Amino acid sequence: MITTIALDLDNTLLNSNKEISATNERVLKQLHKNGIRVVLCTGRPLPAIAHLVQQLDLKQPNDYSITFNGGLVQNNASREILAQTTLTKDEVGVLYQDATQRHYPLDVIGPNGVYSLVELGKSTYEASMNKMLPFKNINFAELPADETFGKVVSSAEPQVVTATRAGLPAEIDQHFHIVPSREELLEFLPGGVNKAVGLKELLGHFGEDLTNLMAFGDQENDLEMLQAAEIGVAMGNAIPLIKQAANAETLDNNADGVAVYLQKYFKL
């Protein structure tokens, strides 16, 4: 039985204006009221999606979000951490050395905001986040050694991101799970971290497993989640890899694809 709906955000639940449509909002609120868990799954930290949590009224004691693409499972209301995997400064340093040699930008996401390593060149990440998180411009030497970090990202033109990924040395692959969340953003997560890992932790907390999961996504960072779910739903605008991995497909994100599939499945 499906008890939990996991939703990627950009180009899945959110339309091209980065908004939850009235139709998607209405259907998800109805299902949540009926006892179905609605779990937002994103690369962003919880403060950056607080407005979406608020819009969907996901503030009950058992409401959680999966953030940092699976690296952090956190209660929406209390902010209590259920599960977390992070990176140390030394681990970020492995990536920094490669970025210095091959000239690509890096931003490091910490517990209270984002550190832009401006000695590598200021990236496009701050502009794309639209003031959802505080940013601090620093050099790598200034990165706090007593903090841990959820992920590192490289935000640039698509051709730069493609070249960055193609040229990564084996040492980087050993330290990180590397995945694009969109064509202009490459994410470096702790090894073994993905959205399915976070969802497995969350479902286990409730005495359930991935057979109770329905998941929606469109990009490569949704792959493991859709493969692991009992019902993996690809958006109409999903990349071919995701459509091949899913066992169902719906309309695109600008046609209320999430709501359309849910209404049919749950007979709303």
How many of the other CB atoms lie within 10 Å of CB of 174?
Answer: 9
Position 58 scores a pLDDT of 98
Q: Are residue 100 and residue 66 in the same domain, yes or no? A: no
- Asked whether 89 and 199 are in contact (CB, 8 A), the reply is no
Of the three residues 175, 190, 205, the one that is the final residue of a domain is: 190
CATH, residue 55: 3.40.50.1000
**What global pTM score does this model have?**
0.91
Of the three residues 160, 190, 220, the one that is the final residue of a domain is: 190
- Summarised one tens digit per residue, pLDDT across range 111-145 is 778 999 999 999 989 988 877 789 999 999 999 99
Residues of the chain above pLDDT 90, percent: 89
Q: Are residue 165 and residue 237 in the same domain, yes or no? A: no
CA separation for the pair 217, 238 (Å, rounded): 7
Q: Are residue 134 and residue 109 in the same domain, yes or no? A: yes
Position 212 scores a pLDDT of 98
Of the three residues 162, 190, 218, the one that is the final residue of a domain is: 190
Position 219 scores a pLDDT of 94
Q: Are residue 79 and residue 198 in the same domain, yes or no? A: yes
Position 148 scores a pLDDT of 94
Reduced 3-state DSSP string for the chain = CCCEEEEEHHHHHECCCCCECHHHHHHHHHHHHCCCEEEEECCCCHHHHHHHHHHCCCCCCCCEEEEHHHCEEEECCCCCEEEECCECHHHHHHHHHHHHHHCCCCEEECCCCEEEEHHHCCCCHHHHHCCCCCEEEECHHHCCCCCCECEEEEECCHHHHHHHHHCCCHHHHHHEEEEEEECCEEEEEECCCCHHHHHHHHHHHCCCCHHHEEEEECCHHHHHHHHHCCEEEECCCCCHHHHHHCCEECCCHHHCHHHHHHHHHCCC
CATH, residue 123: 3.30.1240.10
Burial of residue 166 (number of CB atoms within 10 Å: 0-12, 13-18, 19+)? exposed
Mean pLDDT by 10 residues, the chain (268 residues): 97 96 98 98 91 97 96 96 95 95 94 91 88 90 94 93 91 89 91 96 97 97 97 97 97 98 96
Position 110 scores a pLDDT of 87
Q: Are residue 174 and residue 95 in the same domain, yes or no? A: yes
Q: Are residue 78 and residue 164 in the same domain, yes or no? A: no
Q: Are residue 150 and residue 208 in the same domain, yes or no? A: no
Q: Are residue 139 and residue 68 in the same domain, yes or no? A: no
Position 133 scores a pLDDT of 84
Q: Are residue 80 and residue 98 in the same domain, yes or no? A: no
Which residues form the domain of 247? 4-84+193-265
**Domain count within the chain:** 2
